[in-house]
Structure 1
Amino acid sequence: MNLSPRLALTALVTGIALLAAAPAAQAAPSAQDQAWMASAHQGNLAEIAAGQAAVAQASTDTVRQLGQMLITDHTTLDASLTAAATQLGVTLPTTPTPQQQADLSAVTATSGAAFDSAWIALQIAAHRATLAAGETELASGSEQQVKDLAAAAAPVVQHHLDEALAAAPQFGVPTSVPAGSGGQAATGTSSLGVALVGAGLLLVVVAGTRVVRRRA
């Protein structure tokens, strides 16, 4: 059956439209994109909780003000993230990771100067990890909307890290990598310090193993 020119043109335009729309409909955030979104959301939740703990328990204005900054900034970042997740069909966790919860519990179990020192140490470690995760997303992510979120978060997270590093000497907190040696233990954060040192030793062991394999 022959189609009239108008019907044929309509069919052609419709077909082109469907073909053009098909890739968009099939496109989805990669596993890397989804992993970063989940991690970033949990990080935001953890930082908001940490900020609330600082406002409630800190013994200095410095830590209280940093805590309020975390609440404000990470709430804003998370609003954009959750909106994008809804749009992209990505399901996000509802709580921080068990490790993040345990780390904050260890900090909130202290008080006074020990709390302030432990809190600053935790923020240095947490924000360094967040920056590293964002760099991985920017390098390996595939969904531009997600990469844009990582790019927008980076300067905010860097600012938080810079503020924590600037405050660290006031509380006797080491700023080198890995953080958490005897200085933290002396301020009542031995469990957090041991965890961070352990992570650092693991990295050293892994690096050493790679060197041996290369020489072999």
Structure 2
Amino acid sequence: MRQTNLARIGLAVITIVISGCEAATPTSSAEPGARPGAVGAGGAGASVGSDDDFVADVVMKNMAEIALARIALDNSTNPDVRSFAQRLIDDHGAAGTRLKSVVSGSPIEWPTQLAEKHGETADALAGKRGPEFDREYLQATINGHQDLAAKLESRIDVQSLTDWKTAAAARTQSKAMPEPTTAMRDTAVRPDNSGNESTMKINQWAADAYPVVQKHLDTARTLENAAKQ
């Protein structure tokens, strides 16, 4: 890792995520045949792997979204992009705090700095401004949220995920996806069942975070389409 922008960004994000920030629930890959801002297909039913690896991975992805959003607040002049970046900071900060509470007392090792690929993206974006920055930032945000959503899907009940996506796609044919905590309350995303109490708590966190991540992804795609025009 380089010690320039990465050191500054890494320390700021560590303070937010590891000391008690919350992450947003959040997004996934594109639904076949859906409009560009629609809900993603993701990877439900993927191998769960260890709780340690899952938590470390989502914490790292969460840190990256907060770091890039902070750069957007400095480098973007588009009020819609800036507003979206602040929402990501708030939502992902909150999700990080919740996850930290869920795994409190466990020996899970938390990341202390951005992964190299995230650091390289942050450094590249730090040198850009204006429309070029907006386009590249939004693309990086889309890619990051697709990865995060797919990771979350590995901890979610497959049938409830299918039902949620079907409902969300039906509501996003001609407008942005509705707020998941209000208009989507009738279609719950359920955690994958586990006989391990700690694993079940982590799975519940993933299920709670997922609709928010999908909302982020939908918004990022809408903003990206606008930025291309």
Aligned mate of 1:154, from 189, 193, 210: 210
Measured in 2, the distance between the counterparts of 1:45 and 1:58 equals 20
- Pairwise CA RMSD: 1.9
Measured in 1, the distance between the counterparts of 2:211 and 2:223 equals 18
- Other-structure match for 2:80: 62
Give the percent of matched residue pairs that are identical in Structure 1 and Structure 2. 26
- Other-structure match for 2:130: 112
Aligned mate of 2:97, from 79, 88, 98: 79
Give 1:31 shift: 4.5
Post-superposition Cα deviations, 1:92-150, rounded to whole Å, max 9, x if no partner, equal 11122111111122122211111011001101111001000111233688410110111
The number of equivalent residue pairs is 144
SS at match of 1:88: coil
Measured in 2, the distance between the counterparts of 1:44 and 1:158 equals 14
Measured in 1, the distance between the counterparts of 2:209 and 2:117 equals 22
Measured in 2, the distance between the counterparts of 1:50 and 1:138 equals 27
Cα distance change, pair 95–141 in 1 and its aligned pair in 2 (3 A): farther
Give 1:62 shift: 1.2
Structural mapping, 1:2-41, within 5 Å: 31-41=49-59
Structure having greater relative contact order (Cα 8 Å, sep ≥ 6): 2
Post-superposition Cα deviations, 1:35-86, rounded to whole Å, max 9, x if no partner, equal 1111111111111111111111102001101110011000000001122222
Question: Bigger shift: 120-129 or 98-107?
Answer: 98-107
Q: Which segments of 5 or more consecutive residues in structure 2 lack a partner in the other structure?
A: 1-47, 158-191
Measured in 2, the distance between the counterparts of 1:45 and 1:32 equals 20
Q: Which has the larger radius of gyration?
A: 1
Measured in 2, the distance between the counterparts of 1:102 and 1:141 equals 37
- Other-structure match for 1:131: 149
Give 1:88 shift: 2.7
1:108 partner amino acid: A
- Other-structure match for 1:204: none
Contact 1:38–1:93, Cα closer than 8 Å, also in 2: yes
- Other-structure match for 1:90: 108
Measured in 2, the distance between the counterparts of 1:73 and 1:141 equals 26
TM-score of the superposition, structure 1-length normalised?
Answer: 0.62
- Other-structure match for 2:222: 166
Question: Bigger shift: 32-41 or 112-121?
Answer: 32-41
Aligned mate of 1:145, from 192, 196, 201: 201
Structure number with higher helix proportion: 1
